[in-house]
A and B are shown apart, each in its own frame.
Chain A
Amino acid sequence: MATYDMPVILNTSWTVRAGQDSSPSRLADMVNAYKQPMLIDEIRFAATPAPGGGTLPYGRIFRSSVRMALGRFQITNEFIPMDVLAPRAPGPGEVILPLSRPLYMGNTYLLEPTIRSTVDFTMNLTLVGRLTEPVALGAKQWVPFISAWQTPTASTVGQTLNVKSPRSAFVNRFRTPLYVKRFVGYRAIGGGLATGAIDISVSNYLGKPVLRDPTPFYELFTPVDRMWAVETELPPAGFFMFSAAVAGTNFGNYGRISMFGYREEQL
């Protein structure tokens, strides 16, 4: 094997407490032993019981959200609910974010995730990637970007909330184009009981319809992988606007949508 391209797996874990933002405490875990830059192909979050917490109830990771940055480069606009961070993972207690454009992580800055949760658990963070050659200062690299929006909760049976995403939810806030790969959508189900409807329509910054007629949520974000692949470009300040008609249920009906893309940054 060549030295460059050698696979590397970094892992750390820390205790997440309800109501408190937390980050990895052992930053040294996030530095590869060879102190060389690496390309991250995959970011994985997995939940295990908190110390003394017994067995892991299902779905715990999905009561948490994450904010990420790589040095001065934002990867998320704010806290992104875990269940829309990435397309659906096969397992219930994990989120796997594959990066089709690997993320360059040099020696001077580390991936910094912050977790916010309503319950206690242990978060395991794994970075899967490979060593790479250093790039010159000023070189351009692709950096992912994820932003999200959650509808208000409709809790009154017979009433429908008609809401629109704010402009800030799905906007390209950078000075370069944002190449949007996909939207991910997830509907929260209260207690596994019968769910209310959410109908979605979408328009873009030109005022043109992307999805004109209100359409059931699952037609766009099928339960298979929750993903709507779009492969489009947003110019600087361009945005998408989602409109949702959220039908009320006793246990509360709401939807979450995220936007995932890449932009170029100068290191």
Chain B
Amino acid sequence: MSPIPGQEGRPLALSAAVTLNSGSAQRAPVLALKNPTGEHCEIREIHVTLSATGATLTGATVGMKLDLGNEALTNGYVPVWLFGRRVDATIDQDRFVWRLKYPLYVPAGGVLVPEFQHRSMVKQAITARITYLGRVLPVGARPSKVHLPWVAYWASPVFLDAEEGTASSSETELTNPHGTAIELERLAGRINRFYAQSNQHFAATDEAFNVSLRSSRGEMFVGRASLDGASNALPFSQVFGYETNSWEQRGTIMEPGTFYTATLEKVLPIVTGDINTVQGFIGMVSWRKAMLVGGQQA
């Protein structure tokens, strides 16, 4: 089918960076992230790049919260590696790409505002750069309904390599706090390993945890006891997929007020070593529909 002439829009890219001291939180420069053409636009990709001198980072070291007007799009500072699928292990240390399932509409004059938090996992200052890729919408192409993302996460306690244990998320973390149902795009799972001897953080590919997941509707949808009654918590990579660190969803809906409880069982590691610690992260990326009223989300 031929494209409709004039309906393609014009490409748009916006980028800004902020430097964070350990423990601090700061907004990226808002003006740099505002569409300079003064027209409606939509964002299709979000890139986050981290850099620090003298430190090895992972996407756990910085959290990001996103706000669009009065809408909070995250449950606080979500570790930046939980938004998109892992795309390539080699660059996974410091560059994260989120290809949005639905374009995120930003009305004329509006800004998608990111605020970053240095999570104090390293003492060095971290520079976080965010880039939006999208397009300026054609004149008259303002949608009547928009999709807004909702990204939430839970981080387990930090475990020593040599210990076993169990931790579960609470009902306020992997939740749908909105008044409408949300469509789940993916569940993301990441493991951060810290090597004390070398003072380095890595995205771990070994198996530190078994996972079970339960919904507040009573469904144990991962790790349900088998017919013989034994627990069936599964290895982390079998749930979240080794290649992408995400479990892509098809048609999963979370009703208002519902939540998932994630339980991580820390197992003894395949990799042994000195004083190493490991921490699990589980995130959910979802979408809800909102009506547009007078240029603003309803």
| Residues in chain A within 8 A of chain B (CB atoms) | 177, 179, 202, 204, 208-213, 215-216, 218-220, 222-225, 228-233, 264
Contact A232 B95 (CB under 8 A): no
CA distance A233 to B136 in the complex (A): 12
Complexed CA–CA distance, A233 and B11 (Å): 9
B contact residues around A219 at 8 Å (CB): 13, 15, 47, 49, 129, 131
8 Å CB contacts to A: which residues of B92-133?
A: 95, 97, 129, 131, 133
User: Top 5 closest A-B pairs, CB basis?
Assistant: A211-B13, A233-B8, A230-B11, A215-B15, A219-B131
Q: Which residue of B lies closest to A204 (CB)?
A: B10
Chain A contacts of B49 at CB under 8 A?
216, 218-219
User: Is B5 an interface residue when CB atoms closer than 8 A count as contact?
Assistant: yes
The answer to whether B13 touches A232 (Cβ under 8 A) is no
Residue from A202, A215, A225 whose CB has the most chain B CB atoms within 10 Å: A215
Are B135 and A231 in contact, with the CB atoms below 8 A? yes
Instruction: Tell me the bound Cα distance from A153 to B95 in angstroms.
Output: 26
Q: Helix, strand, loop or mixed for chain A's interface? A: strand
A208-B37, A218-B95 as given contacts; A223 in contact with B32, CB under 8 Å: no
User: Within the assembled complex, what's the spacing in Å between the Cα atoms of A231 and B133?
Assistant: 11
Considering the complex, give the chain A residue whose CB is closest to the CB of B31. Answer: A213
Enumerate chain A residues within 8 angstroms of B131, measured Cβ to Cβ: 215, 219-220
Given A211-B14, A215-B15, A216-B129, verify A223-B8 contact (CB < 8 Å): no
B34 to chain A, nearest CB (A): 10
List the A side residues contacting B136 at CB < 8 Å.
Answer: 208
A213 B15 Cβ-Cβ under 8 A: yes
Q: How far is the CA of A223 from the CA of B12 in the complex (A)?
A: 20
**A208/B5 contact (C-beta < 8 A), A213-B15, A219-B129 known:** no
Is residue B229 within 8 Å, beta carbon to beta carbon, of the partner chain? Answer: no
Given contacts A208-B10, A213-B15, A224-B97, 19 further A-B contacts (CB under 8 A): A177-B5, A204-B10, A208-B136, A209-B36, A210-B12, A211-B13, A211-B14, A212-B36, A213-B14, A213-B16, A219-B47, A224-B87, A229-B133, A230-B135, A231-B9, A232-B9, A232-B10, A233-B6, A264-B2
Complex alpha-carbon distance, A264 and B3, angstroms? 11
Q: What is the bound-complex CA distance between A229 and B95, given in angstroms?
A: 18
In angstroms, how far is the closest chain A Cβ from the Cβ of B49? 7
Closest Cβ of chain B: how far from A216's Cβ, in Å?
Answer: 7
Residue pair B13, A202 in contact (C-beta under 8 Å): yes
State whether A223 touches B88 (Cβ < 8 A): yes
Asked if B88 and A224 sit within 8 Å, CB to CB, the answer is yes
Q: Which residues of B are found within 8 Å of A218, using beta-carbon distances?
A: 49, 95
Kindly name the residue among A202, A232, A264 whose own CB sees the greatest number of chain B CB atoms within 10 A: A232
In the complex, chain B residues 1-55 whose Cβ is within 8 Å of any chain A Cβ? 2-3, 5-6, 8-16, 32, 36-37, 44-45, 47, 49
Given A209-B37, A210-B13, A232-B10, are A179 and B97 neighbors across the interface (CB < 8 Å)?
Answer: no
Known: A219-B131, A222-B47. A232 touches B11 (CB 8 A): yes
Q: Chain B residues near A223 (CB, 8 Å)?
A: 88, 90-91, 95
Contacts of B6 in A (CB 8 A): 233
A212 to B97, CA, bound (A): 21
Using a Cβ–Cβ cut-off of 8 Å, how many residues does chain B contribute to the interface with A?
A: 31
Interchain Cβ contacts under 8 Å between A and B, 7 examples: A208-B136, A209-B36, A210-B12, A211-B13, A218-B95, A223-B90, A224-B91
The 0/1 profile, CB within 8 Å of A marked 1, for residues 243-287 of chain B is: 000000000000000000000000000000000000000000000
Which of A177, A220, A222, A230 has a CB less than 8 Å from the CB of B91? Answer: A222
The minimal Cβ–Cβ distance linking A189 to chain B, given in whole angstroms, is: 14
With A219-B47, A222-B91, A223-B88 as known contacts, state yes or no: A210 contacts B11, CB within 8 Å.
yes
Residue in A179, A210, A225, A264 whose CB lies within 8 Å of B10: A210
Q: Known interface pairs A202-B13, A208-B37. Does A222 touch B135 (Cβ–Cβ under 8 Å)? A: no
**CA–CA, A208 to B11, complex, Å?**
11
Point out the residues of chain B lying under 8 angstroms from A232, CB to CB.
8-11, 135
How distant is the Cα of A230 from the Cα of B11 in the complex, in angstroms? Answer: 6
Tell me the complex Cα distance, A247–B11, Å: 26
Closest to B129 in A: A219
Cβ–Cβ < 8 Å partners of A211 in chain B: 12-15
Candidate in A204, A219, A223, A224 with the most chain B CB atoms within 10 angstroms: A219
Q: Tell me the smallest distance from the CB of B40 to a CB of chain A, in Å.
A: 14
User: Interface readout for B40-81 with A: 1 if CB under 8 Å, 0 if not?
Assistant: 000011010100000000000000000000000000000000
* Contact (A220, B13) CB under 8 Å given A213-B32, A232-B135: yes
Given A209-B37, A210-B10, A228 contacting B133 (CB threshold 8 A): yes
Could you tell me the distance in whole angstroms from the C-beta of A178 to the nearest C-beta in chain B?
A: 10
Output the least CB separation between B77 and chain A (Å). 21
Residue numbers in A under 8 Å from B135 (CB-CB) = 230-232
Contacts of A209 in B (CB 8 A): 36-37
Closest to B138 in A: A233
Q: Please, which residues of chain A bring their CB within 8 A of the CB of B91?
A: 222-224
How far is it, in angstroms, between the C-alpha of A245 and the C-alpha of B250 when the chains are bound? 44
Please, which residues of chain B bring their CB within 8 A of the CB of A213? 14-16, 32
Determine the chain A residues whose CB is within 8 A of the CB of B5 once the complex forms.
Answer: 177, 233
